[in-house]
A and B are shown apart, each in its own frame.
Chain A
Amino acid sequence: MPASDSRFLDYAPAPESTSILHLKESYGLFVDGDFVQANGKSFATISPATEQKIAEISSADAKDVDRAVAAARKAYDRTWSKLSGADRGKYLFRIARLVQERARELAVAESLDNGKPIKESRDVDVPLVAAWFFYYAGWADKLDHAGLGPNPRALGVAAQVIPWNFPLLMLAWKIAPALAAGNTVVIKPASATSLSALIFAEILQQADLPPGVVNIITGSGGTGALLVNHPDVNKVAFTGSTEVGRAIAKSTAGTGKKLTLELGGKAANIVFDDAPLDQAVEGIVNGIFFNQGHVCCAGSRLLVQENIETEVVERLKERLQTLRMGDPLDKNTDIGAINSREQLDRIRELSDIGESEGAVRWSAPCEIPAKGFWFAPTIFTGVETSHRIARDEIFGPVLSVMTFRTPAEAISKANNTPYGLSAGIWSDKGSKILAVADKLRAGVIWANTFNRFDPASPFGGYKESGYGREGGKHGLAAYLKSTALKAGSR
């Protein structure tokens, strides 16, 4: 081999081109099938990797929200509720195919606006978006089999508010089941990440979806509050922080609006000493460093059996040194940018608290780019269950490592959280996996894997992680009411 001072591992840049994007300088609201001007003051959406402005985004005020809800109501009354399930399904299939056709464009837009690595938006987010529409397209004419008795009915207008961590995927999780079940939608993406939703609006136009069936309004949390509290919506679906979820639960209580909440998490990833170790290390990495840890079901608490703690942590640190942080559009980037300055500040604050509480901090030696928001993958060892980094959701690339001695102790520590969204179990022994899974209070439990999603599988939480399920047959129940009237049923 020729002698050289450079390293093969310093891969040459391999950026995905942004020339595929046809962005506008400013975007209006998508209401009643068209882009319209908003009344509120517009704001800039930036790339978190460079802090450069991408486009100007509109802000919907109360009047705009009224207009969007009215459009959704009209579409529900006049067209969507009159269509057969088979015809609704055709539109959903068409949307799914258009998402596949424009997959690269959507992935580039998502990585640019959100900061997540292109390999994730390309290989995870966008394919799952298409999968979600395909899956629920198939349900649209089979609602009699959704488990709600014969001929279940749509609820009406659904108000949906989604977060910034998986902008387009969360949109698909919300819109696909709502439309399959026969509802119309007003959806508000997070203010930091509206771009892919606005490109999705173009796809809806391409698909000839009847005007008003899906309305996409942009703006801050204030816009979201106006939307979920609008008197003419029948259903509220929210994914985001537990704090906001709690406020929504309060404000919708007694209004008759059906509510699903998918909130925070502090998942335990339990590694037993009989685990397949190399794969467990990969699973730990994928569990907490996927999408920079901006994942509500992230495996942020590593519970490792005490007799293998040293070995697991050592292997983990070695593995983290091979992660590549940087340009989200580079195809070799593993760790992208933190989504916003605000989130970066929160991650820093909680990490500093972790140190001051006595946990030992280790960060992967990454070169931090000069511009943008970045946080190196970080592990805390010596974490006690009473530490805040073991209890609070950090929503960043920060892993808290704790130990256990017996399966009973693992279960008790895993359940000792106000959240209950997800958990992971690593063991080569099937009977142990089943016995432990049975006792974990979490909506999703992964065995020998982590952060795997499939439209056929229901997803949702226990306790402060929210209520209701998204995905699978269960996900339909959130958007349907039974017509089989029984005493006590609504």
Chain B
Amino acid sequence: MTGAPAHKEVEPAILAPAERAIQMIGGDLTEKSLRAHLEGLPRVDAVGLTERAASLGTRSIKTTSKARALDTIIGLIDLTTLEGADTPGKVHSLVAKAMTPDPSDMSTPRVAAVCVYGDMVPYAVAALGPDSGINVAAVATAFPSGRASLAVKLADTKHAVSAGADEIDMVIDRGAFLSGRYGVVFDQIVAVKEACRRDDGTYAHLKVILETGELNTYDNVRRASWLAILAGGDFIKTSTGKVSPAATLPVTLLMLQVVRDWYKLTGERIGVKPAGGIRSSKDAIKYLVTVAETVGEEWLQPHLFRFGASSLLNDVLLQRQKLSTGRYSGPDYVTVD
């Protein structure tokens, strides 16, 4: 056999019966009805969105509010290592940092999760032990490009879940999305969600990475966010961190607006995870402000908001030390992982 796969295979007329989509769009879920629904969403004015984000960024968070913000940020971090060079040793080091972010101050909270490649999950699980309170998140579905067959993506996911991952960070098929095949993207998310099912019937939490840097327009980000929620995502996540731009404040604001609209329609809370490019406490505080003033501060909890970051943690620790001692220390007063 030669040539491209038959088109019928990649453009399903009837879509997988995801519960949320059926409630929102109606029983006969088709590529056509999904498209009409997504295209009916209100458009985004890029200038207005970036202005609003910039204005939220001017909030001045000082003294007690800042101390609280810094601890909140630490508790929302998915401490991440996603390198080709990752080893069990590197993962052990990351886990140690996640459990004891600042050995000079044991009151420092722990991070929310460690985020690793699927084959590193067993090492992370073993290093954390049973009572760390820290989740293991695994990237899956041929991360970061997502360019693999569905069978490979599902196997990737199932492997990570069975190895003990609490959370799966999947990537959407951006190629399918950009060529207008929303149904393909939708069905894949539904299938991956099903692959997150454990033997006991519970599910690993599913974060859906949109890779907003490749979707390029805010209208696309709104549609992709909505699509990911309809298909069953627990979280919508901006980026893999491998594409520039990764998370930006305007993109995160837009995704928070989607989540707010979904909550107003259904009463159901969806999480948001900006990932990549957030390196300073100052930037992270802008995200907290944006969350609190867009969806409300009940979203500032690990099951509803996360930062995908690695170097952010040390900057927050430095700021935290500054607040408690009154002086700035330096990079040698926080640990490398």
Q: Are A278 and B300 in contact (CB under 8 A)?
A: no
On whether A1 and B60 interact (CB within 8 A), knowing A8-B297, A322-B293, A448-B45, the answer reads: no
Distance of A271 from chain B, by nearest CB (Å): 11
Closest to A118 in B: B60
Distance of A323 from chain B, by nearest CB (Å): 10
Instruction: Tell me which residues across on chain B come within 8 A of A4, comparing CB atoms.
Output: 68
B135: interface (CB < 8 Å): no
Q: Are A14 and B60 in contact (CB under 8 A)?
A: yes
Q: Which of B38-86 contact A (CB under 8 A)?
A: 42-45, 47-49, 51-52, 58-66, 68-69, 71-72, 75
A116: interface (CB < 8 Å): no
18 A-B residue pairs with CB within 8 Å: A1-B71, A1-B75, A1-B300, A2-B71, A7-B297, A8-B72, A8-B292, A11-B60, A11-B62, A278-B52, A279-B49, A282-B52, A283-B48, A331-B58, A331-B60, A332-B59, A332-B60, A428-B43
Closest to A285 in B: B52
A9: interface (CB < 8 Å): yes
Q: Are A11 and B61 in contact (CB under 8 A)?
A: yes
B interface, CB within 8 angstroms of A: 42-45, 47-49, 51-52, 58-66, 68-69, 71-72, 75, 109, 254, 257, 288, 292-293, 297, 300-302
A274: interface (CB < 8 Å): yes
Q: Are B45 and A428 in contact (CB under 8 A)?
A: yes
Q: Are A8 and B48 in contact (CB under 8 A)?
A: no
Q: Are B48 and A279 in contact (CB under 8 A)?
A: yes
A277: interface (CB < 8 Å): yes
| Given contact pairs A1-B302, A332-B59, a sample of 6 additional A-B residue pairs in the complex whose CB atoms are under 8 Å apart | A9-B292, A12-B65, A276-B42, A276-B48, A278-B257, A322-B293
A417: interface (CB < 8 Å): no
Instruction: Tell me which residues across on chain A come within 8 A of B293, comparing CB atoms.
Output: 9, 322
A interface, CB within 8 angstroms of B: 1-2, 4, 7-14, 119, 123, 274-280, 282-283, 322, 331-332, 428, 448-449
Distance of A116 from chain B, by nearest CB (Å): 15
Instruction: Tell me which residues across on chain B come within 8 A of A276, comparing CB atoms.
Output: 42-45, 48
Distance of A433 from chain B, by nearest CB (Å): 12
On whether A448 and B62 interact (CB within 8 A), knowing A8-B68, A8-B69, A8-B288, the answer reads: no
8 Å CB contact of A282 from B42, B51, B62, B69: B51
Instruction: Tell me which residues across on chain B come within 8 A of A13, comparing CB atoms.
Output: 62
Instruction: Tell me which residues across on chain A come within 8 A of B75, comparing CB atoms.
Output: 1
8 Å CB contact of A12 from B63, B288, B297: B63
Instruction: Tell me which residues across on chain B come within 8 A of A449, comparing CB atoms.
Output: 47-48
A322 to B292, CA, bound (A): 10
Distance of A311 from chain B, by nearest CB (Å): 9
Instruction: Tell me which residues across on chain A come within 8 A of B254, comparing CB atoms.
Output: 278
A123 to B72, CA, bound (A): 29
A11 to B292, CA, bound (A): 11
Closest to A119 in B: B58
8 Å CB contact of B44 from A2, A7, A119, A279: A279
Q: Counting chain A CB atoms within 10 Å of each CB, which of B45, B58, B109, B288 scores highest?
A: B45
Instruction: Tell me which residues across on chain A come within 8 A of B45, comparing CB atoms.
Output: 276, 279, 428, 448
Distance of A470 from chain B, by nearest CB (Å): 24
On whether A123 and B59 interact (CB within 8 A), knowing A8-B288, A428-B43, A428-B45, the answer reads: no
Q: Counting chain B CB atoms within 10 Å of each CB, which of A274, A332, A448 scores highest?
A: A332
Instruction: Tell me which residues across on chain B come within 8 A of A322, comparing CB atoms.
Output: 293
Instruction: Tell me which residues across on chain B come within 8 A of A283, comparing CB atoms.
Output: 48
Instruction: Tell me which residues across on chain B come within 8 A of A332, comparing CB atoms.
Output: 59-60
A119 to B301, CA, bound (A): 30
Q: Are A278 and B72 in contact (CB under 8 A)?
A: no
A84 to B107, CA, bound (A): 69
Q: Are A1 and B62 in contact (CB under 8 A)?
A: no
Q: Are B297 and A9 in contact (CB under 8 A)?
A: yes
Distance of B76 from chain A, by nearest CB (Å): 8
Distance of B264 from chain A, by nearest CB (Å): 9
On whether A448 and B301 interact (CB within 8 A), knowing A8-B65, A331-B58, the answer reads: no
A449 to B46, CA, bound (A): 11
Distance of A259 from chain B, by nearest CB (Å): 36
Closest to B76 in A: A1
Instruction: Tell me which residues across on chain B come within 8 A of A14, comparing CB atoms.
Output: 60-62
Instruction: Tell me which residues across on chain A come within 8 A of B51, comparing CB atoms.
Output: 282
Closest to B257 in A: A278
8 Å CB contact of B72 from A1, A119, A280: A1
Distance of B22 from chain A, by nearest CB (Å): 24
Instruction: Tell me which residues across on chain A come within 8 A of B64, comparing CB atoms.
Output: 12
